Amino acid sequence: MRPTVASCEGGHRKDRFVCLDNCMMKKKPPNLVAEFRKKHIVEKLPDVLYHYTSIEGFKGIIDSKEIWATAANHLLNDPTEITHAKEIALGILRKRKSDFNGKETFYNNCKNAIENSDRSKDFQCICSFSEEGDLLSQWRAYCPKGGVSVGFSVPRISGNDKYLEIKDGSPHNNYYVHEVYIYKCIYDPKEQKEKINELINFSLKHADLHVAGFFLKMIQTFSYSFKHKSFEEEKEWRLCYFPEDYQLKYRTKHSMLIPYLPCSIVDNNDRSIIRKIIIGPSRDKENLEKSVSLYLKDSRISASVEFTDTPYQPQ
Short-list 120, 124, 160, 118, CA closest to 273: 160
Domain span at residue 131 reads: 30-71+122-187+212-217+225-307
Question: CA 57, 61, 66, 67 torsion: positive or negative?
Answer: positive
Residue 100 included in any domain: no
Residue 14 included in any domain: no
Instruction: Please provide the DSSP assignment of 260-310 as one string.
Output: EEEEE-B-TTS-B-EEEEEE---TTHHHHHHHHHHHHHHTT---EEEE---
pLDDT tier at 157 (50, 70, 90 boundaries)? low
Q: What is the DSSP letter of 187?
A: -
Residue 230 included in any domain: yes
158-210 confidence digits (pLDDT tens): 544 333 333 333 333 333 334 467 889 999 999 999 999 999 999 999 887 67
Tally the domains of the chain: 1
Residue 231 included in any domain: yes
198-256 confidence digits (pLDDT tens): 999 999 998 876 787 888 888 888 888 898 899 999 999 988 877 777 778 888 877 88
Task: Give the separation between CA 192 and CA 80, rounded to whole angstroms.
Answer: 15
Residue 243 included in any domain: yes
Residue 127 included in any domain: yes
Residue 66 included in any domain: yes
Residue 192 included in any domain: no
